[in-house]
Amino acid sequence: MADSVASGFGEEKETENNDKEKEKPATNSKLRPEKHRSTLEVTETLGFYERNTGKRDKQRNLSDLSLVRFISAELTRGYFLEHNEAKYTERRERVYTCLRIPRELEKLMLFGFFLCLDAFLYVFTLLPLRVLLALIRFLTLPCCGLRANICPFCKKRSGSRLLQPAQVCDVLKGFIMVICYSMMHYVDYSMMYHLIRGQSVIKLYIIYNMLEVADRLFSSFGQDILDALYWTATEPKEKKRAHIGVIPHFFMAVLYVFLHAILIMVQATTLNVAFNSHNKSLLTIMMSNNFVEIKGSVFKKFEKNNLFQMSNSDIKERFTNYVLLLIVCLRNMEQFSWNPDHLWVLFPDVCMVIASEIAVDVVKHAFITKFNDITADVYSEYRASLAFDLVSSRQKNAYTDYSDSVSRRMGFIPLPLALLLIRVVTSSVKIQGSLSCVCVLLFYLGMITLKVLNSIVLLGRSCLYVKEANMEEKLFQAPPAAGPGRTPSKGKVTVHPGDLLNENLSASITNQPVQREENLTGDLPKSNSDQFLTTPDETEDKDLPQDGSELKHRAPKKDLLEIDRFTICGNRID
């Protein structure tokens, strides 16, 4: 009985154990997907799983943690640059562009320097002779008013002008120079020097920066004052008077030239104080100011027109600094009785200022072209634009003087700077005796020779640059209208396209194109320079709809020939 009961309990236990063993695989099969899902959800870091993985994964990951295997992978790892060939080719071209920038920039700077030198020498050499010829004509022409149709001496009719417009402008320039020179005698240079030298270094640094800003403002407004005077004095009398008169404009021009000359004199005096300081701290601070210019220019968006303005500004600034250094050397040599040994004392400082100016310009232009994807060939376009101004000013139908075109294009106005140099030279060099007068006459003839040779070389190079840029036909086009709302004049000068192809450029400089009644400008062959000297995004306008209402409020794209130093184009005026 007892054995049967015990055997019954044993069988029940065995059945329970069998049931438990059957339930375990089911539960294990349910848990395995969850474990597998958890291992899939575990993130992989550097190729190794975390602790909650399986035992086999742990063993495999421990084998992957071998230091020798990691080092061997680092030593044998490779990559192929040709998979991104376009990117690396572009980077290499950028490096080549940066290497070409100094050469191309210095070509432009050298050409622009001689342009400024030509306009500057014109004030000393040819302008006095032109004023003298105009005064002789003015004094001898009244003989035509003796009721004679044709004067027997000058072969002019009695109803003709007394003076041509260019002669009127020359006489006005001569009077402005004479009046301002007489006013400059009341300015004591020595007192100004000691007054500036008594200031602290920080004050002088602030003063010099303020003078640079004031010089740019004076240049921007001064050329407008002079142009307003020239146009008021030569405007045709049949037009309705819309101005205040020639005399008020003349006094404004005299006041501007005098104040601008005083401003440049203070600049030269501050630079002289920096040269004569014992520790050269002021000179170092003033030179470091050039490197601050890199910070204000490099990290800004520039287009071709903006870079053209900056290049013109750098040309003008470099030429002005050379003249200021010449004035400083003259004043110092006068104080040391023209001892040539003192010139070698000033020579290292002069070279340091020039070298810093060149280095700043090269670095600035190199990074501007790099950040704005501008090629180095753009400087040849700028050089061709400046050459076009020189060639067009030599034509008979030119509408401006060459020195005035340089003033508008670069912001370089030679009258105040020439006035200051005359004032410094006359106060530093004493002319006594006939031998001194002969030396002055020989020096004047040498300056005329230099001016003529410089003009001949510049004209030849300019014709070459204009031909290379395919801009010959633009020489025969009429000047642009003054405003968008004004209609062109009736006496528009045009030329037949066949004459353009047969004429040489050298003949176009001396011969005036034939004036025709019909307007044949539409028949002229389109030049590649229209596309060659335009902003980079000009081609985008071709895809725009030609709706008049939409295009009415859009500003037209500016050609480089229409951009001067103070034209607002893009986002800045440097």
pLDDT in tens, 257-276: 999 999 999 999 988 888 88
Q: How many CB atoms lie within 10 A of CB 321?
A: 16
Question: What would the pLDDT profile of 339-371 be if each residue is shown by its tens digit?
Answer: 888 888 889 889 988 998 899 899 999 989 888
Residue 384 lies in a domain: yes
Q: Please, where are the H alpha helices in 42-125?
A: 55-64, 67-76, 85-124
**Residue 161: pLDDT band with limits 50, 70, 90:** low
Exposure letters 196-217 (e unless 16+ CB within 10 A, then b): beeeebeebbeebeebeeebbe
**Closest Cα partner for 108 from 361, 373, 283, 419?**
361
Residue 61 lies in a domain: no
**What are the tokens at 424?**
């410094």
Query: Higher-confidence residue: 115 or 33?
Result: 115
Burial of 74 (0-12, 13-18, 19+ CB in 10 A): exposed
**Closest Cα partner for 125 from 329, 405, 403?**
403
pLDDT for 160:
57
pLDDT for 19:
59
pLDDT for 90:
85
Is the pLDDT at 524 greater than 80, yes or no? no
**What are the tokens at 367?**
């990074």
**Closest Cα partner for 380 from 121, 66, 101?**
101
Q: In angstroms, what CA-CA distances link 189 with 268, 269, 277?
A: 10, 8, 18
pLDDT for 508:
43
**Residue 478: pLDDT band with limits 50, 70, 90:** low
Record the pTM. 0.71
**Residue 562: pLDDT band with limits 50, 70, 90:** low
The share of the chain scoring above pLDDT 90, in percent, equals 25
Is the pLDDT at 278 greater than 70, yes or no? yes
**Closest Cα partner for 405 from 254, 564, 168?**
564
Residue 2 lies in a domain: no
**What are the tokens at 280?**
């050269």
**Closest Cα partner for 285 from 357, 205, 223, 364?**
205
The share of the chain scoring above pLDDT 70, in percent, equals 67
Quote the domain boundaries for residue 394.
86-142+165-236+243-473
pLDDT for 40:
46
Query: Higher-confidence residue: 404 or 500?
Result: 404
Residue 425 lies in a domain: yes
pLDDT for 334:
87
pLDDT for 190:
86
**Residue 532: pLDDT band with limits 50, 70, 90:** very low
pLDDT for 410:
83
150: which strand partners?
Answer: 157
The C-alpha atoms of residue 181 and residue 424 are separated, in whole angstroms, by 11
pLDDT for 10:
54
Rounded average pLDDT over 192-205: 85
Looking at residue 221, its amino acid is F
The C-alpha atoms of residue 569 and residue 559 are separated, in whole angstroms, by 11
Rounded average pLDDT over 524-538: 40
**Three-state DSSP class for 157?**
strand
**Closest Cα partner for 417 from 492, 488, 316, 329?**
316
Residue 547 lies in a domain: no
Q: In angstroms, what CA-CA distances link 203 with 196, 263, 324, 540?
A: 9, 17, 20, 50
Instruction: Name the domain count of the chain.
Output: 1
Cα radius of gyration (the chain): 39
**Residue 553: pLDDT band with limits 50, 70, 90:** very low
Can you give 214-270 as a three-state secondary structure string?
A: HHHHHHHHHHHHHHHHHHHHHCCCCCCCCCCCHHHHHHHHHHHHHHHHHHHHHHHHH
**Residue 325: pLDDT band with limits 50, 70, 90:** very high
pLDDT for 543:
45
Question: What would the pLDDT profile of 28-66 be if each residue is shown by its tens digit?
Answer: 554 454 444 444 444 444 444 445 555 666 665 655 678
Q: How many CB atoms lie within 10 A of CB 451?
A: 18
Residue 360 lies in a domain: yes
Q: Between vectors from CA 110 to CA 106 and to CA 114, what angle results, nearest 5°?
A: 170
Q: In angstroms, what CA-CA distances link 211 with 57, 126, 151, 415?
A: 76, 31, 54, 18
Residue 320 lies in a domain: yes
Query: Higher-confidence residue: 524 or 120?
Result: 120
The C-alpha atoms of residue 412 and residue 434 are separated, in whole angstroms, by 36
pLDDT for 111:
94
Task: Determine which of 186-195, 521-530, 562-571 has the lowest per-residue pLDDT on average.
Answer: 521-530
**Residue 138: pLDDT band with limits 50, 70, 90:** confident
Is the pLDDT at 25 greater than 70, yes or no? no
Most confident region among 91-95, 249-253, 430-434 by mean pLDDT? 249-253
Is the pLDDT at 403 greater than 60, yes or no? yes
pLDDT for 517:
41
Rounded average pLDDT over 242-269: 90
Question: What would the pLDDT profile of 507-519 be if each residue is shown by its tens digit?
Answer: 444 444 343 444 4
45: which strand partners?
Answer: 48
pLDDT for 415:
92
**Residue 315: pLDDT band with limits 50, 70, 90:** very high
pLDDT for 81:
83
Residue 412 lies in a domain: yes
Is the pLDDT at 128 greater than 90, yes or no? yes
**Residue 20: pLDDT band with limits 50, 70, 90:** low
Q: In angstroms, what CA-CA distances link 325 with 272, 351, 551?
A: 8, 10, 50
At 321, phi and psi to the nearest 5?
-65, -35
- 85-124 helix and 340-371 helix, angle to the nearest 10 degrees: 140
Is the pLDDT at 212 greater than 60, yes or no? yes
Average pLDDT, the chain: 75
The C-alpha atoms of residue 518 and residue 115 are separated, in whole angstroms, by 37
Rounded average pLDDT over 420-449: 90
